[in-house]
């Protein structure tokens, strides 16, 4: 067994092992240490003695033993009489039904995901903890993916764990009435992970971990039986349909290619097919949430041969529905582009006026980028150039700044990024 | 999102914390300095606990700087402070937080007698294709 194989087994088993231990013993932190020790034991033992038939069960058994040993030695110091009681728990831990059962493994993953996305944690902490505990990534890998020093990430993770202990998050499922909120928070964290990976992976910028793939993998593990699972399917479809464009969204030098200019032959047709299929199944059920709507919009783009041939009328309808369900300035911006494609640039520009005045948008480069694009469409090139320059000043993304500067420097008439 | 909080100050003599070495700082009563110290320590604890603190450095006297100019013939090094700036960079903090609003809230707390605080977003190598 190579190190890569071991890593693979570990990543698949980690949430099950940690979830099973957390559920049984309730101490997340100690469980994580015990799991690390079990993995170390596996790295020594498996290459010599072969990989066990059920690596997850093996890891759970060994980690349980370590956890109980630790409890026992701590207890022994304080009260030797209690050791016998813990031995009972140890025997229970070896029962094969609990260790090997697939339905338990599934529940454990969901439980752990919900725990990691507890509302008492900040969004950044939820993301970090989810990747660490459920994704099985190392702190160093997570830190690299988010471009912060390892010490910062370690602090974020350890603080999150402390916070969970403080609020006594426990290791049981939240009450039924809390579940919708908790699931929303979980979906939000998974989408954040996806976006972090998608927006930072341009061209040559390679990390050893793909956050987009990790987010897709984790989202796939959420079972269909959860309340609001249509939105989970919508989220997965959105990720697949967006990630399908990965091969076309950056040039070799790392510069961004806007949707309008992408070589659609390089889109991943298998991912598009899977995303569309998922979406078709849930859309017929009628519980339309924001992720399903965004996925539907991405699906319309993926069906079009080109930017011009896109079914813009349908995109307008979908963005209006999204605007009703989950209004935001970003939705208005995208709607304005779609409206401009159907009714002409002036109709789109009129929709932007309220955004230009909104204080929350005063530092948002995208309003100005979209405005520049629509001005260009209507032939007002001087105003377009100024709007591109403003957008270039405001963006903090280096590839976007290069792109916007090039637009501000002339080159009118080229197609520009718009709605997704 | 990452932001740098740049602290410009001209302490005389150069020293840290700069707030006690500036003319304006010397005019502030000791009790008020103590109060500011407590508030700053609380802020640091908060940022460390939340994971928003990334790194920070206090800088040595600008007189210890070396400046490198470039020309086609090669670089030219000169010793001493960057003459064109009136206020000198005394130190910086790098923070990583959820929003511009949060960054502004944090940066405002760095305001100090005899200094100017500048908040600047850091650029990043990514971007989306929207």
Say yes or no for a CB contact (<8 Å) between B125 and A399: yes
Cβ within 8 Å, pair B129-A245: yes
Q: Is beta strand B88-96 parallel, antiparallel or unpaired with respect to B2-9?
A: antiparallel
C-alpha distances in Å from residue A298, one per residue of A216, A235, A337, A410, B120 = 16, 11, 15, 30, 34
State the Cα–Cα distance between residues A386 and B109, nearest whole angstrom. Answer: 35
Q: Contact A114/A173 with Cβ under 8 angstroms?
A: yes
Q: Do B129 and A155 touch (CB under 8 A)?
A: no
Kindly state whether residue B127 falls inside one of the protein's structural domains.
no
> Is position B63 within any domain?
yes
Do A396 and B55 lie within an 8 Å CB cutoff? no
pLDDT at residue B78 is higher than 70: yes
Q: Please tell me the distance from the alpha carbon of residue A1 to that of residue A10, in angstroms, as a whole number.
A: 12
Mean pLDDT value across residues B3-7? 97
pLDDT tens digits for chain A (420 residues)? 566 777 777 777 777 787 777 767 767 777 777 877 787 777 777 777 788 888 888 888 888 877 777 766 666 555 544 443 344 343 343 333 434 445 556 667 788 888 888 888 888 889 999 998 888 888 888 888 888 888 888 988 888 888 888 887 765 667 777 888 888 889 999 998 998 888 876 544 445 568 899 899 999 988 777 777 899 999 999 999 999 998 898 888 778 888 999 999 999 999 999 999 999 999 888 778 999 999 999 999 999 999 999 999 999 999 999 999 999 989 999 999 999 999 999 999 999 999 998 887 878 899 999 999 999 999 999 999 999 999 999 998 888 898 899 999 844 444 444 434
Closest to A399 (Cα-Cα) out of A254, A184, A192, A191 = A254
Assess if residue B39 is contained within a domain: yes
**CA A18 – CA A24 distance, rounded (Å):** 10
Q: Report the CATH number that the domain containing residue B102 is assigned in CATH.
A: 3.30.70.1060
Q: How confident is the model at residue B82 (pLDDT cuts 50, 70, 90)?
A: confident
Interface contacts A/B by beta carbons within 8 Å = 88
CB nearest B130 (choices: A155, A254, A417) = A417
Residue B37 forms part of a structural domain? yes
Chain A interface includes B93 (CB < 8 A)? no
CB contact under 8 A, B51 and A147: no
Over pLDDT 70: what percentage of chain B? 99
For residue B126, tell me if it sits in a domain: no
Query: Given B2, B126, B129, which is nearest A258 (Cβ)?
Result: B129
Residue B40 falls within a domain, yes or no?
yes
Contacts of residues A270-273 at CB distance under 8 Å and 24 or more positions apart, as own/partner, are: A271/A240, A271/A241, A271/A243, A271/A244, A272/A240, A272/A241, A272/A244, A272/A299, A272/A302
Interface TM-score (ipTM) > 0.85 = no
- Pick from A149, A202, A366: CB nearest B126: A202
- How many domains are contained in chain B? 1
Domain that holds residue B71: 2-121
What's chain B's average pLDDT? 91
> What pLDDT sits at residue A163?
86
Please tell me the distance in Å from B130's CA to the nearest CA on chain A. 6
* Among B residues 52-71, those touching chain A with beta carbons less than 8 Å apart: 53-55
Q: Does residue B18 fall inside a structural domain?
A: yes
Give the global pTM.
0.78
Q: Is B104 on the interface with A (CB under 8 A)?
A: no
Quick check: is B102 in a domain?
A: yes
Strand ranges inside A189-244, DSSP E: none
With CA atoms as reference, the chain A residue closest to B48 would be A155
Q: A6, A42 in Cβ contact below 8 A?
A: yes
Of A155, A205, A417, the CB nearest to B51: A155
């Amino acid at each position: 067994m190579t190190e890569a194989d071991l890593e693979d087994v570990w990543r698949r088993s980690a949430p099950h092992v940690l979830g099973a231990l957390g559920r049984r013993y309730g101490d997340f932190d100690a469980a994580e240490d015990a799991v690390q020790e079990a993995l170390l034991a596996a790295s020594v033992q498996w290459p010599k003695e072969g990989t066990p038939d059920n690596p997850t069960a093996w890891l759970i058994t060994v980690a349980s033993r370590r956890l109980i040993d630790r409890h026992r030695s701590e207890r022994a110091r304080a009260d030797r009489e209690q050791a016998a009681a813990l031995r009972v728990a140890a025997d229970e831990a070896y029962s094969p039904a609990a260790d090997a059962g697939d339905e338990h493994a599934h529940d454990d993953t969901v439980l752990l995901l919900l725990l990691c996305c507890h509302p008492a944690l900040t969004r950044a902490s939820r993301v970090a903890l989810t990747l660490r505990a459920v994704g099985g990534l190392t702190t160093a890998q997570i830190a690299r993916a988010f471009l912060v020093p390892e010490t910062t990430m370690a602090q974020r993770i350890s603080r999150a764990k402390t916070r969970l202990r403080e609020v006594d998050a426990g290791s049981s499922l939240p009450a039924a009435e809390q579940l919708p909120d908790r699931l929303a928070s979980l979906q939000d964290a998974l989408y954040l992970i996806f976006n972090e990976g998608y927006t930072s992976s341009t061209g040559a910028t390679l990390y050893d971990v793909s956050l987009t793939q990790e987010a897709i993998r984790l989202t796939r593990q959420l079972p269909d039986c959860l309340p609001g699972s249509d939105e989970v399917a919508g989220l997965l479809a959105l990720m697949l349909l967006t990630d399908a464009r990965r091969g076309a969204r950056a040039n070799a030098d790392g510069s961004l290619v806007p949707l309008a200019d992408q070589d659609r032959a390089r889109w991943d047709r298998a991912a598009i097919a899977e995303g569309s299929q998922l979406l078709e199944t849930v859309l017929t059920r009628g519980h339309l949430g924001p992720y399903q709507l965004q996925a539907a919009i991405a699906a319309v783009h993926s069906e079009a041969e080109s930017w011009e041939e896109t079914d813009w009328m349908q995109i307008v309808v979908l963005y209006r529905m999204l605007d009703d369900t989950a209004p935001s300035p970003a939705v208005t911006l995208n709607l304005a582009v779609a409206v401009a494609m159907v009714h002409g640039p002036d109709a789109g520009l009129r929709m932007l006026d309220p955004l230009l005045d909104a204080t929350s948008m005063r530092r948002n480069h995208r309003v100005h980028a979209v405005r520049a694009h629509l001005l260009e469409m209507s032939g007002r090139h001087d105003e377009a150039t100024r709007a591109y320059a403003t957008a270039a000043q405001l963006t903090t993304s280096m590839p976007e700044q290069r792109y916007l500067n090039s637009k501000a420097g002339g080159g009118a008439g080229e197609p520009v990024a718009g709605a997704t | 999102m990452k932001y740098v909080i740049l602290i410009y100050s001209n302490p005389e003599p150069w020293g840290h914390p700069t707030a006690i070495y500036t003319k304006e700082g010397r005019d502030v009563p000791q009790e008020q300095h103590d109060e500011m110290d407590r508030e700053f320590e609380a802020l640091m604890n908060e940022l460390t606990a939340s994971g928003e603190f990334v790194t920070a450095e206090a800088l040595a006297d600008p007189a210890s700087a070396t400046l490198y100019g470039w020309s086609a013939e090669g670089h030219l090094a000169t010793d001493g402070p960057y003459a064109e700036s009136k206020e000198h960079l005394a130190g910086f903090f790098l923070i990583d937080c959820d929003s511009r609003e949060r960054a502004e809230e944090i940066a405002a707390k760095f305001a100090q007698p005899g200094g100017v605080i500048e908040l600047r977003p850091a650029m990043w190598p990514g971007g989306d294709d929207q």
